[in-house]
Structure 1
Amino acid sequence: MSQPDLRHSPATLRREMLRREMLRRTGLIAAAAVGAAATGCVPASGHGRTELVWGRRGQSAGRFLKPRAITIDRNDQLYIVDTTGRIQVFDRDGNWLREWKTPETKNGRPTGLAIQHRRAPEDDLLLVADTHYYRMLVYTLDGSRVQEKEIGGQAGRDPGQFAFVTDAVSDRDGCYYIGEYGDSDRIQKFDPDGNFITQWGGTGREIEKFVRPQSLVIAGDTLWIADACNHRIQRYDISGSQPRWIDAWGRQGEQPGQFHYPYDLALLGDGGVLVCEYGNQRIQRLAADGTPQAIWGAPGFEIGQLYQPWGLVVDSKQRMHVLDSNNHRIQRTRLPV
C-alpha cells in the first residue's frame, strides 16, 4: 500500500533537513538511547511525561523495521506488526514474549490489528488486516491461525472482495467491519460467520465518503473511522440494520482540532479520543464533544518526539503506547492532559 506522498512538501523538506543535521551532529542519538539495554528498554526520566522507550531498528526479537500497527489485549499484552510481516507480542513494559509471521509478505505487509473480545478471555482472537492480500486473517492470541474465520482473499469491488484492506474490527454481536483503500474506499460489514451484510462509503471528499479509511474503532454502538487522506474522523451509529452517519470531526491543518493524515484512534473511558497523526507527527487528545484538549509529541528523534507514527493503544493503567514507526520504537507515556 502506498503512503501519502509527503516527500516534497515544505514541511517535510524542513523535517528531512532537521533529521540529517541531527544524525550528523549526534550520531544517531535516539538509537543510542534506546539501544542501551539488551531488550531495547530504557526509562525516559527527565523528558516530560514519557516513561519508557523501547525497541530499535533490526529484525531480531524485540526490534522493528517500521512497525505499522499495534493493538492490546485484556492482559495489557501488546501485539505489533512491522514491515517484515512479523507479529511480535510484548508485555506493557516492553518485554518480548513471543512472535509469529503472516503467511505471505512478498506483495506487502499488514497495516491493521485488533482484538476480537469473545465470551471467555482465553478465546479472544487477533484480527489482522492483511493489506496486500485482500483479506482479514485471524489468529488465536498465541499465534495459531484460524483459517475458517478468515474473510476475503480476492481483489475486486464486489461484496466480499477487497482492495487494500486497512483495518478489521468486530462489534459485541460478533459482526465484522473491514475497511479498504484503493479502488474501493469503503467499509464492508459481515455477520459472525463471514457472510456479507452491507457496505457503505466510496471514494470522495464529501461527507460519508472516504479516502483511505485507515483505522476503525468501535465503542458500544458507535463506529469511529480515521478517514486519513480526508484529514478527519467520521462516526456512525451501527445499532440498526444499516449504519447511520453521526458526524465528522476535523479538517486538514496543524492547529488543535485539525489533522494531517490521522492514522489511528484510541478511545478513552470519558468518551474522548486520542488521534495519532502520521503527517503532523503528534498525538492529539479530544474531548467527547470533539473539543481539542492536549497535544503530545513533535517531529524528531529524541524521547518525546515522533517520526511518522502509525498507531497507539491505551493500557489498563491509562498510559498510551505510541508506535513511533520510522524511529523503529515504542514510547510509553501518561495520557496528555
Structure 2
Amino acid sequence: TGWSPSPISSGTYTITGTVATPVFSSSLPGIHTPPVTVTLSSSTALATIHYTMDGGNPTCGSPLYNPGVPPVFSASTTIKAIACKTDWTPSAALSGFFEIENTAATPEFDTVAPGLYQSAQTITLSTQTAGATIHYTLGGSTPTCASTLYNSTDKIPLGTNSITTIKALACKSGFTNSGVLSGTFTLTGTVATPTFSSVTPGDYTQSQNVSLATSTPGASIHYTLDGSAPDCDSALYSSALNVPLFTTRTIRAMACKADWLPSSTLSGDFTVTGPVATPTFDGNQPGTYPSDTSINVALTVSTPGATIHYTDNNTEPSCSSALYSAPLTVMVGESITFKAVACKTGWEPSSFLTGTFTVSIPEIPLITGLSATDGTFTDKVTLTWDDAGTDVDNYVLYRDTDPAGSFADVLATVSSTSYDDTTASPMTTYYYKIKGKKGTFLGEANTSESGFAKSTVITVTDNWDNAHGYDFSTPMGIAVSSDKVLVADSGYHRIQVFDPTGLHLFNIGKNNGDKSSGTGNGELNSPSGVAVYNNEIYVADRLNNRIQVFDINGVYQRQWGSLGSGNTQFLQPAAVALANDEVFVADTGNSSIKVFSLTGTYKRKWSGVTSPASITLSGDYVYVCDLQVQSLHRFSPTGTNQISFASIGAADGQVNSPKALYFFKEHLYVAEAGNHRVQAFDTNQAFVQKWGSEGTAAGQFKSPQGLALGTEGQMTLLYVADTNNNRIQKISFQ
C-alpha cells in the first residue's frame, strides 16, 4: 500500500520427458532364413534411433538408424537400439536376437564395450548359439575357428597404456560360422607422478633452480608455487623453477596427458636463506687510541636471530669460535686484532669482519742512579736510585746472582727511592735491576748494579789445639763429609779422622800411634791433601810421590804413582780433588794438573801453572792456586785456562802465598799463608769478604794451609788448618 506496482516478470518453462523405446517394425527377433532386414521405429516425434549389432549397449553416439537403409545381415545377430531427442531423456534400450537358421550367432562383448578406458579392463565374450565356441585374435587379424579359444574363466585381460583390437567369431559343428565381432579398446592409465630431478626439497643457502620430470612420455607437468593444489589447468612447466635468496616456496606439481588419469600430486618445500649479513663494529672503530684508558669494542649484525663469533688472536673465526655476548675490552698497551663472523642455523655464514684496536703504552723513563752497598751491612743490602717523578707510579726491583741472568724474580715493588734487601744472604753477591712502573706497565731496566752483605762472624766454635787435648804437627789439607772431618797431619805423617764435634775416631798411617813416616802400603810421608768421594778417602802422599786410597774406615785399598815426571809419576803432589768419577791431582813439582780414573788409570794432564798448591772443583770449573806466581786460575775440566785473577798483595782481592782452595755455595774460599787470612770470592772473581789476621788468638792464623766448609743447620762451618799454630779452627757464620 502506498507503493507503485512492480514491473511484470515473464518466463517460459518447457517440459520434455523420456523418449519412447524403439520397436522392431517388420522382422521380429527369432529364427530366420538369410538375409534378414530389420526396421525400427519410435513413437516420439523427431526422435532418432541409434543401434549396435556387436552386443554392445547403444548410446546416443552409436550408429544412426536410417529408415531408408535398414540393417541387413545373414548371420545370427543381436540388435540393440535406443531412441534419442535433444533435451529429452534417452529411451530405454531395445534388444533382440535374430538367429539365422544353422548359422552361429556373432559373439558379443558382454560387460565392457570397445572404447577408451583409463584403467585395466577384463573383456568377456558370449554367443547366443548354444554349444558354440568363440575364437579370437588381438592383433586385428581376421579370426578363424583355429584362432585362440576364448575361455570364459580367464576372459581377456587388457593392461593400461595399450590399444588392442579384438576380433572374434563363433563356431559350431554343422553350423555356418558366425559373423566377425570387432572392437578396439584403448587403455591409457594414470600418468606417473612428477619428481624433483635436480635438487630435493630442503634448506639452502644459495638460490636454487628446481627441475621437474615425469616418466610418462608425452605427459605435461602443471604446477603451483603458493601451496595450492595443482590441476591440469595450472601453470604449465617448461623450464626449471627458480627459488631466489631469502625465499620459502612450496612447489606442488601434477602430470597430465589426454585420455589419461592425472598423476598424484608432488609437493616439496624449498627454503633459500642465503648468507648472514657481515657483522659491523658498533661504536668504537678500528684504530689507535690514547693510553689514558681502556676501550670497549662492540659488535652487531643486521640479520635477525644471527649470532656473532669472534677471535682475538688474528686467526680466522668460525661458527664454533667464542660467542660474542658483551663488548670486548682492549686494555692500555694492548693491540688486538678482532675477527668476527655471523652465523644462523640453516644460513651461510657471513663474510669476515676484521679490525685492529690499539691502546697506546705509556712512555716510562729508564730509572737512573741505582746503587747497592758492598759489604757495608751484615744483615742487608741497601739500594738507592734517582727519583723519576710523576712519570712512574712505582719502582720494581729485580735480583739475580748472575749479571747475565734472567732477573725474572721480582724482589720488591716500592714507591720510594730506596730499599733495604734484608733477604740477602751474607757472603752472596747479588745483582740488581730496577724498572719504572706506570699503571700496569713496566719500563725497561738499566744495567745491573751489584752488592752484597758481609757475613756475620758468630764465633770460633772450636779450637782443636794442644790446650784442648789435640796433637797436630803442621796440619795442611782438610776434608769434610756428612759425619767426618779429615785432617792431613803432615808433620806426623798421618791423617787424623774426627767426627764433626771434634771427637777423634782413628788415624790413617803407621799403627800404634807411631808418628814417623813410612813407604809401605797405607803408610804416609808428609801428606798434604785429602778428599772423600763415594765412601773412599784419597790422600796426596806428598813425599812418597803417590796417591793412596782407603775405605771410609781407613783400611788401605790401592795406590798409584812414583817419583818422576811421567804421566803416572809425581813430584811432591800437594792436593787431590774428585768429581764425575775422575781424580784431579795438583802435581806441584811437575807444574801440572793430572787427571786419573778412580783406579789410577791416567786420562789427561795440563800445564799452565808453575807451582800448583791446591785444587778444588765446581761444576764445569777447576780452580787452582799457583804458589809461585801468586795467582788464582779457573780451568775447564779439560785444561783450558779460562781466566786468571788475584794478583800478589795484601789488599782485598789480592793474595800472598795462596796454599788452599775450597769452593762452597757459589763462593771460592782461599787460605793465604803469607797474609795469614781466608778470603772469599764470588763466581765473577769479585772479592766478597775476609777473615783473620796474624796471631794466636781465636780467629787469628799463622800461615793457614788448609780449609773446608760445611753446614750445621742454618750456619756455615769453616774449618781452617792453622798450620803454624798447629791447630784446627772451626768457625761458624751466616
CA contact (8 A) 2:605 2:639 kept: no
Alignment-derived partner of residue 104 in structure 1: 471
Which of 467, 478, 488 in structure 2 is aligned with 1:129?
A: 488
Q: Distance in 2 between matches of 1:185 and 1:158?
A: 13
The two structures have a TM-score, normalised by structure 1, of 0.63
RCO comparison, higher one (Cα < 8 Å, 6+): 1
| C-alpha distance 94-180 of structure 1, shift in aligned 2 (>3 A) | farther
Alignment-derived partner of residue 160 in structure 1: 522
| C-alpha distance 176-315 of structure 1, shift in aligned 2 (>3 A) | closer
Q: Counterpart of 1:96 in structure 2: which amino acid?
A: T
Q: Does 1:151 align with 2:499?
A: no
Q: Does 1:220 align with 2:580?
A: yes
SS at match of 2:491: helix
| C-alpha distance 226-92 of structure 1, shift in aligned 2 (>3 A) | farther
| C-alpha distance 170-332 of structure 1, shift in aligned 2 (>3 A) | closer
Larger deviation: 138-147 or 223-232?
Answer: 138-147
**How many angstroms does 1:219 deviate by?**
0.9
**How many angstroms does 1:336 deviate by?**
4.0
Q: Does 1:249 align with 2:606?
A: yes
**How many angstroms does 1:101 deviate by?**
2.3
Alignment-derived partner of residue 315 in structure 1: 664
Q: Distance in 1 between matches of 2:663 and 2:586?
A: 17
Alignment-derived partner of residue 211 in structure 1: 571
Q: Distance in 1 between matches of 2:626 and 2:456?
A: 24
| C-alpha distance 245-93 of structure 1, shift in aligned 2 (>3 A) | farther
| C-alpha distance 160-236 of structure 1, shift in aligned 2 (>3 A) | same
Q: Distance in 2 between matches of 1:330 and 1:176?
A: 25
| C-alpha distance 93-206 of structure 1, shift in aligned 2 (>3 A) | farther
Alignment-derived partner of residue 180 in structure 1: 541
| C-alpha distance 97-229 of structure 1, shift in aligned 2 (>3 A) | same
Residue by residue, what CA displacement relative to the aligned partner does 1:87-121 show, whole Å, maximum 9, x if unpaired?
Answer: xxxx965543412325334xx3111101124xxxx
Which of the two has greater strand per residue?
Answer: 2
Q: Distance in 2 between matches of 1:296 and 1:330?
A: 16
SS at match of 1:208: coil
SS at match of 2:517: coil
Residue by residue, what CA displacement relative to the aligned partner does 1:17-69 show, whole Å, maximum 9, x if unpaired?
Answer: xxxxxxxxxxxxxxxxxxxxxxxxxx9xxxxxxxxxxxxxxxxxxxxxxxxxx
Q: Does 1:262 align with 2:624?
A: no
| C-alpha distance 237-180 of structure 1, shift in aligned 2 (>3 A) | same
**How many angstroms does 1:232 deviate by?**
0.8
Q: Distance in 1 between matches of 2:494 and 2:455?
A: 29
Q: Distance in 2 between matches of 1:262 and 1:336?
A: 21
SS at match of 1:235: strand
Q: Counterpart of 2:556 in structure 1: which amino acid?
A: F
**How many angstroms does 1:293 deviate by?**
1.1
Alignment-derived partner of residue 331 in structure 1: 679
Q: Distance in 1 between matches of 2:610 and 2:659?
A: 12
| C-alpha distance 92-176 of structure 1, shift in aligned 2 (>3 A) | farther
Q: Counterpart of 1:264 in structure 2: which amino acid?
A: S
Alignment-derived partner of residue 273 in structure 1: 622
SS at match of 2:523: coil
Residue by residue, what CA displacement relative to the aligned partner does 1:282-321 show, whole Å, maximum 9, x if unpaired?
Answer: 11111233211111111112222111111122221x1212
Q: Distance in 2 between matches of 1:94 and 1:312?
A: 20
| C-alpha distance 309-93 of structure 1, shift in aligned 2 (>3 A) | farther
Q: Distance in 1 between matches of 2:518 and 2:670?
A: 33
CA contact (8 A) 2:611 2:629 kept: yes
CA contact (8 A) 1:260 1:279 kept: yes
SS at match of 1:259: coil
Q: Which runs of 5 or more structure 2 residues have no equivalent in the other structure?
A: 1-380, 382-425, 428-453, 511-515, 686-734
Q: Percent identity?
A: 25
Alignment-derived partner of residue 99 in structure 2: none
Q: Counterpart of 2:475 in structure 1: which amino acid?
A: P
Q: Distance in 1 between matches of 2:457 and 2:488?
A: 23
| C-alpha distance 264-95 of structure 1, shift in aligned 2 (>3 A) | farther
Which of 112, 116, 134 in structure 1 is aligned with 2:481?
A: 116
Structure 1 runs, 4 residues or longer, greater than 6 Å off: none
| C-alpha distance 96-229 of structure 1, shift in aligned 2 (>3 A) | farther
Q: Which runs of 5 or more structure 1 residues have no equivalent in the other structure?
A: 1-42, 44-75, 78-90, 118-123, 251-257
| C-alpha distance 158-115 of structure 1, shift in aligned 2 (>3 A) | same
Q: Distance in 2 between matches of 1:155 and 1:324?
A: 27
Q: Distance in 2 between matches of 1:274 and 1:329?
A: 19
**How many angstroms does 1:152 deviate by?**
1.0
CA contact (8 A) 2:567 2:602 kept: no
**How many angstroms does 1:199 deviate by?**
1.4
Q: Counterpart of 1:156 in structure 2: which amino acid?
A: G
| C-alpha distance 100-125 of structure 1, shift in aligned 2 (>3 A) | same
**How many angstroms does 1:223 deviate by?**
0.9
Residue by residue, what CA displacement relative to the aligned partner does 1:150-191 show, whole Å, maximum 9, x if unpaired?
Answer: 21134211112111111222221x122212122x11111122
Alignment-derived partner of residue 647 in structure 2: 298
CA contact (8 A) 1:180 1:213 kept: yes
CA contact (8 A) 1:165 1:179 kept: yes
The two structures have a TM-score, normalised by structure 2, of 0.30
